[in-house]
Amino acid sequence: MTATRIDGKAFAEKVREEVAVGVKALKASHGVTPGLAVVLVGEDPASQVYVRNKVRQTEACGMQSFHHVLDTTTSRDSLLSIIESLNADPEVHGILVQLPLPDHLDSRDVIEAIDPAKDVDGFHTSNVGELWTGGEPFIPCTPIGCLRLLKSVEPNIAGKNAVVIGRSNIVGRPMAALLLNESATVTIAHSKTKDLPAVCRQADILVAAVGRPQMVKADWIKPGAVVLDVGINRIETEDGKGKLVGDVDFDDASTVASAITPVPGGPGPMTIACLLANTLEAAKRSVS
Ligand code: NDP
């Protein structure tokens, strides 16, 4: 079997186009331009790249972009007072604090300070609670992006066995909640799971969100399963340039799976696109 390659880049472009249309419509109907504020504390190079991409894509789809770049030594009080002013700013509909934060700042503390109605990352406990209890939350962007990619190849999720490897608050847990809400039978695996390959072989839908390069091999995968690879890992190459790989051995897994996301070009591009979609939704809710 040679798996269908699920093209996250193409899907993300489609989502961005839909968002751009929605932004225009909201401006025309209510005179409101959705605005996304991104707060970056410190100089983590990967975070700087993410923030640059977010700002560029926010502006490209017609939204307002506000970004606050703060010194690594920024105090808790200063950061919370910026969040407070963004909460009160009517031009800001979405607030995102880029993680990870420097060690002296507690990310939970900071996330809880964001108005849940502007929490477009979906990390506030109020949105997390709504996700697990069937409300209408903002859903974290990477898992909702994965779900959209999954539905493009597998519209019938109900009753399927889904295994999510990883239980982080930003990927594994919300992914499991989304699959459960679609009536899959969900197993969450993690570093203490016994015989992980055997657990994975039960999966009709396998999501890997671990951070271990090419850990999932073909013999972990049930023939015909759909595999979503969230991992982004840089590995060394002989030419010294290095390259990005996922948590799944793509070439090996492609011989067994029915469909699989590549890295790069899988869930990664969908993450920012879904952030823009959440920001548009926040702006729509602000006028309804
Ligand atoms: P975390 O480090 O927060 O979580 C990793 C999870 O993997 C933990 O639950 C951990 O278990 C589990 N784990 C670690 N080692 C093993 C193992 N050997 N076997 C089974 N489970 C294991 O990572 P994130 O969830 O933040 O990210 C996961 C990956 O996804 C990373 O590569 C990250 O770069 C990528 N990512 C990609 C995004 C995108 O836009 N595509 C967005 C966010 C993340 P335990 O809880 O027991 O420690």
Pocket-testing residue among 54, 171, 244, 248, ligand 1, by greatest number of atoms within 8 A of Cβ:
171
* Domains in the chain: boundaries: 32-115, 141-268
Catalytic positions are 54, 98, 121
Instruction: Give the span between the Cα atoms of 266 and 251, in whole angstroms.
Output: 14
What residue ranges of the chain have pLDDT lower than 70? none
> What pTM did the predictor assign?
0.97
Residue nearest to atom 30 of ligand 1 (CA): 231
Amino acid 46: pLDDT: 87
Residue 172 alpha carbon to ligand 1 centre in Å: 7
Who lines ligand 1 at CB under 6 A? 142, 165-168, 170-172, 189-193, 196, 209-212, 230-233, 267-268, 271
Residue 28 alpha carbon to ligand 1 centre in Å: 42
Amino acid 76: pLDDT: 97
251 CB burial (10 A radius; 0-12, 13-18, 19+): exposed
CATH number of 32-115: 3.40.50.10860
Residue 108 alpha carbon to ligand 1 centre in Å: 18
DSSP β-bridge partners for residue 67: 38
Asked if the domains at 32-115 and 141-268 fall in one CATH topology, the answer is yes
Fold of 141-268: Rossmann fold (3.40.50)
Amino acid 95: pLDDT: 98
Amino acid 1: pLDDT: 74
Residue nearest to atom 19 of ligand 1 (CA): 191
Among candidates 165, 130, 124, which has minimal Cα distance to 146? 165
Neighbours of 158 (CB within 10 A): 9
Quick one: angle between helices 267-287 and 45-60, nearest 10? 50
Please, which residues have CB within 8 angstroms of residue 14's CB and are 6 or more apart in sequence? none
